A and B are shown apart, each in its own frame.
Chain A
Amino acid sequence: MSETLFKVTIDNIVIEVPAGTTILNAARKIGGEVAPPTMCYYSKLEGSGGKCRTCLVEVSKGSEKDPRPMPKLVASCRTTVMDGMEVKNITSERVLTARAGVVEFLLINHPLDCPICDQAGECYLQDLSYEHGADKSRFEFQKRTFKKVDLGDKIQLHMTRCILCYRCVLVANQLTNQREHGILDRGDHAQIATYIQKNLQNDFIGNIIDVCPVGALTDKTFRFKNRVWFTKPVDAHRDCNNPKCCGEVRLWMRGDEVYRVTGRIDEWGEVKDASNGKPGWICNECRFDKKKVSDWVIEGPTNVNRHSVISQGHYVNSVLPQETLPEVLNGRQPKLLMDIHNVSEVNKPNIELSALDRPAHSTDF
């Protein structure tokens, strides 16, 4: 049976997609700016989406048979396409104002602690508010605050930063045998918690760090070690014993030190499927315990979007000028007047911060 293809127009771009595709996925097929931003939808997780409202779009023509526009903006991650549907995303003024409103709502309780947050630089809320948000807040009241919680010795929970996207709950439901954390309480009091302070121990629970769109769940082995834009992402793999783990990861390195291991993230901020077709989730052993270069087979540097802050200081295709001094000095190397490690206290060769599985303290220097 041949699949029925529906013709949809998104921002005046026509595309044919199979029936049952959501507007968001149709827009992602076109790619670029047409795809609405998402904070809660995650295509690799069943049942995600519909919570954050950042992907709202305007449907200016319902379908070929019923051309009436939809009265309200619809969440594109949960609305499937109809034949002949016309959707407006960035071409609609209504969508852009609504999105700015949604960003303002998301930022109401989100603290402005990007300078200390480990997610800064790869945070989707940061990107979203930079693109769609206002430059100041109208919220004049106390933000809700929580104490930071250790979810086990490797995962740090900053509940103040959480935007309640439910992605981590779905990861725990769908990837692990038993979910040990969830959302407690309702409304303004809703929070991610383990009810009684419990460690999350499952083999794949580390993936909640990757799916978290903000800095609510962060890797404690990387905590405060470095800023993401000072580390260099490198694609690597290893033979992992765990049958569910794909073993293909991204190492965040500085020199020869592996500071952090994450899954490979694609342009939509989701883990990429591995080359053998497995989903790109990685196990806790790969993520937290393999912090040596010798543990990994390095494939090469990750392609980073030129506009991302992570690409700062990555000088690609640069040509080093030819060293002429040894030639002039009959093969002698020029005498170094100063070795920076003799003077500098930073990045001492004998202190390997990446080897610590906890944040560095004053006692480590």
Chain B
Amino acid sequence: MQTLTNRSKQVDRSPMNFLERIYLWNIFKGMFITFKHMFKKQPTIHYPEQKRTFSPVFRGLHVLNRDEEGRERCTACGLCAVACPAEAITMEAAERLPEEENLYREEKYAAKYEINMLRCIFCGLCEEACPKDAIYLSETLAPSNYSRKNFIYSKQDLLIPNPKTETTDLEKAKGK
């Protein structure tokens, strides 16, 4: 039979001799391999004490962005929701009132914005679709939870801290 690689070995079915029958030699051989690994580099990462560095393209938990003046960037255009293959994003839009101009960047804004993290597959298409630079996938793992209902993330869960009023929170969120 033709073999796929030249590493295959024919199984030796000849009767074992005395040295082979007491297995001591084979045990020592195996123990030696185990012992050798004690001097090798450890591949395990002790999470959560140690954390792995994320690759620059890692797609984690979503954030909703604000502009430099702390106004919400999202205008509820619905492009993230229409791009979402898992149909995880829902929103309701509203018109900005004259006194809310410091809260929202455009005259239309997302009054409600929700991402169902049970549905989200972290593909990042919402980030790509967003014309207003409002939604980003951060380098944070989505935390686990005991209850399904805690996976519906509302706008308050997703918005970044206001760079004008909550500067310390923002620095903390950035990991500084």
A contact set with B: CB distance below 8 Å: 113-116, 120, 223-227, 229-230, 309, 312-313, 337-338, 340, 342-347, 353, 359-365
Contacts and interface: CB of A to CB of B under 8 A. Distances in A.
Contacts of A337: 148
Contacts of B108: 116, 224
Interface string B83-108: 00001001111110100100000111
B77 A309 contact: no
Contacts of A309: 82
Query: Which of A120, A346, A359, A361 has the largest count of B CB atoms less than 10 A from its CB?
Result: A346
B97 A362 contact: yes
A360 B111 contact: yes
Contacts of A115: 75, 77, 79, 106, 131-132
Nearest to B130: A115
Nearest to A359: B95
Contact of A346 (B100, B107, B112, B132): B112
Binding site secondary structure of chain B: mixed
Contacts of B94: 224, 359-362, 364-365
Which bracket fits the contact residues of B? Answer: 20 to 34
Query: Which of B95, B97, B100, B114 has the largest count of A CB atoms less than 10 A from its CB?
Result: B95
21 contacts: A113-B106, A114-B77, A115-B75, A115-B77, A116-B77, A116-B106, A223-B95, A224-B94, A224-B108, A226-B93, A227-B77, A312-B82, A313-B87, A340-B152, A344-B114, A346-B92, A347-B90, A360-B92, A361-B95, A362-B100, A365-B111
A343 B149 contact: yes
B78 interface: yes
Interface of B: 75-79, 81-82, 87, 90-95, 97, 100, 106-108, 111-114, 131-132, 148-149, 152, 154
Contact of A360 (B95, B100, B113, B149): B95
A343 B153 CA distance: 10
Contact of A345 (B77, B95, B97, B114): B114
A365 B93 CA distance: 11
Contacts of B93: 224-226, 360
A342 B154 CA distance: 13
A225 B78 CA distance: 11
A345 B112 contact: yes
